[in-house]
Structure 1
Amino acid sequence: MSLGALKARLQLSRDLSPRYGVITKILPNMVFVKGFLPSVGDVVKAERNDGKECLGMVVLVEQAQFGFAPFSFVEGCKVGDRVLFVKEGLSFPVGEALLGRVLDPLGNPLDGLGFVGASCLCARDGRAHETLTKRNH
């Protein structure tokens, strides 16, 4: 990885110490965790003992615990598994650096070309332009 790409990655991640908690309860569509309190909309990752991971979005925050909606099946997850904070909200890289790139739904590269050096990030819940105000190119 080039020095410029490394600097860009460090600027994007502000929190360098991992925050984690443990699973206390599992439902088919929600997993409850104690240990840290993220914000609604943050992305977390449950680590299973077999090395597989389950990503999800925080949808509930209470005084001592939070709940996240998993993006995949929770088979294999169990009470006591570790959950890590991944990033604040869902945001995606945007800009010309994405031309010709292949990304997963979370903005991670799938094409084997490494880190996406996008010029900025755009929030998942950003509003689309009004149809009548779009410019034709």
Structure 2
Amino acid sequence: MKKQDKDFVQRRNDAMAAKAALLEKFKNRPSEDDPAVQARIAERKAIAEAREQRRKQREAERQAKRAEEARLKAEREAALEAERLAREEEERRLEQQRRAEELAKRAESLVDDAALKAKRDARYAARKARVRKIG
């Protein structure tokens, strides 16, 4: 018999039978005090606790990894900062050395200029002395 061939009463009776079967199945389920139900509840609770423990373990591992990454980053930054400071110190030292060399060259130049002036003055004085002797 096709579904379309069923009359209303038969469909209603089928629906009522299905509802009655569901109700019977519900009534026949074990109560909360049944050891099998208690075992299932305990098993589910144990699974949930194990899942929570694994979640906490993963979170602790993530935090440890983050802390390690932060420590490594801080070490890298400290090393870079130390390198930068050393480079700046070396640049300052080289600049001071360059200035000292420049000052030494200026002083040498002044000494050379003074020596040249002294020679020039000596020649001038000698020329004056010759002119006075002759004249």
Task: Please give the range of the TM-score, normalised by the shorter of the 2 chains.
Answer: under 0.3
| TM-score (normalizing by structure 2) | 0.18
| TM-score (normalizing by structure 1) | 0.18
Say which one has the larger Rg: 2
Tell me: higher relative CO, structure 1 or 2? Use CA pairs within 8 A at least 6 residues apart. Answer: 1
Higher helix proportion (structure 1 or 2): 2
